[in-house]
Copies of this chain bind each other. A is one copy, B any other.
Amino acid sequence: MREITVHLGLGSNQGDRQTILRGALERLGAVPGVRVVRVSTLRESELVGQGPPQGAFLNGVAELCTSLSAAALLDVCKALEVAAGRRVPAPRNHPRPLDLDILTYGTQRIDSRQLVVPHPRWRERAFVTEPLQELGVDLDLLATLTAPVVIDDPAALAARTAAWLEGGCVIGLVPTMGALHAGHQSLVQRARQECDRVLLTVFVNPLQFGPNEDFAAYPRDLARDVELAQQAGADAVFAPSVGQMYDASFASHVGVGAEAEGMEGAVRPGHFGGVATVVARLLAMSRPHVAYFGEKDAQQLAVIRRMVRDLGFPLRLVGCPIVREADGLAMSSRNVYLGPEDRVASTVLHRALLSARHAFARGERDRDALLARVRTVLASEPRAAVDYVELRREGDLALLPAGEVAGGRVLVAARFTAGARPVRLIDNMSLLPGPEEL
């Protein structure tokens, strides 16, 4: 039976600290499959972080030898903490009679729901690093076991998510083309609340750009994206090259139905085939439980919803509300293209959408009357050349017949062509305010 060397962090700041720590190690050493090899000097330290007034900790590290899995050892440690009188769940930063943390488990990297090894904050704490050094642990080697944040190789991505799945983690995926802004960060934050692990992908997908579109010019700044993603709570960023996503003989495509027709599908032929293909690939590779998309690209969301349902990917799709600048412009990585005058003019999209919502709130139910109001507002801005204004059913964005409507979503696209380069913006709004807008 293979035995693994383990380093266990010890802490106590309640009761007879020394006796509690010694007693716990004695019980631990009596567990079948566990031997306590040696224990570092115990030392005093103050609480890290904010908490109620409390005594100092007595800390140290024990070296164990065990045939138990890391998860099994964790369960035993939890039971020892409970037996020592610790409350479950333990309130954060309150005094505790016994605190046991698995710091290392051989040279294995563990990234499960219950346990991350090496311990994520081991480097920040002298009461951990000093005893580890006293026990002769190679801290440089330990540092190499800490999981990297940025992944570019598809096989490494699949391995990482496989470990998460095996660890029982709920995985949240936030696919982006980078050039992150507060809208993307809101997706990461939502994922952070709902999932155990959050993966953000950064890939400017050539398949979804037309020949005369801005693929080459699309803004790219991976270092900044990684920083913003981590700030918002992402655990990992997958940022492959085009060659890593599509090899030279790449030939497949994923097509969907009516959701990809009209609006953006009409203006940008092939666009949604490229979107469906890359998203199918990202889902196949990363196998998330939940995937987060912004409602700003409402038709893209409808296309992906259809693809996910048809191909049977076992996940939940979450559409997140549009995040807007203070003056109402929907956040977009392409907003940086706007010259100062177009930037001012661009707010007409939001005003036009609001005019439909206000009219609906006042009782207007006729589809074409609502659309006419939007067009009138848009026409008031000479810098905006309208591509389309449509009122579609919520969800799948199916066409709504002329006549009375009970609700729906207004979608607009316009070009601002007066600046140095033409900029195309899209926006949309439900006729009925969502809960987050009330």
A33 CB-CB contact with B under 8 Å: yes
A162, A167, A277, A310 — most chain B CB neighbours (10 Å): A310
- Provide the bound-state CA to CA distance between A283 and B257, in Å: 21
B250 touches A32 (CB 8 A): no
**CB < 8 Å neighbour of A67 from B75, B247, B258:** B75
Say whether, besides A72-B69, A75-B68, A307 and B1 are in contact (CB < 8 Å): no
B32 touches A32 (CB 8 A): no
Which residue of the partner chain B has the closest CB to A89? Answer: B1
Which residue of the partner chain B has the closest CB to A113? Answer: B166
Q: Which residues of B contact A254 (CB under 8 A)?
A: 252-255, 280, 311
Nearest chain B CB to A4 CB, angstrom units: 11
A78, A280, A311, A312 — most chain B CB neighbours (10 Å): A312
B-contact bits for A1-34, CB 8 A (1 contact / 0 none): 1000000000000000000000000011011111
B310 touches A250 (CB 8 A): yes
Say whether, besides A75-B69, A75-B72, A312 and B252 are in contact (CB < 8 Å): no
Say whether, besides A306-B251, A306-B252, A309-B247, A1 and B82 are in contact (CB < 8 Å): yes
Nearest chain B CB to A141 CB, angstrom units: 26
A285 CB-CB contact with B under 8 Å: yes
A37 CB-CB contact with B under 8 Å: no
Say whether, besides A33-B78, A67-B79, A253-B255, A155 and B314 are in contact (CB < 8 Å): yes
- Provide the bound-state CA to CA distance between A312 and B249, in Å: 13
Say whether, besides A280-B280, A284-B284, A287-B287, A310 and B75 are in contact (CB < 8 Å): no
**CB < 8 Å neighbour of A78 from B1, B79, B310:** B1
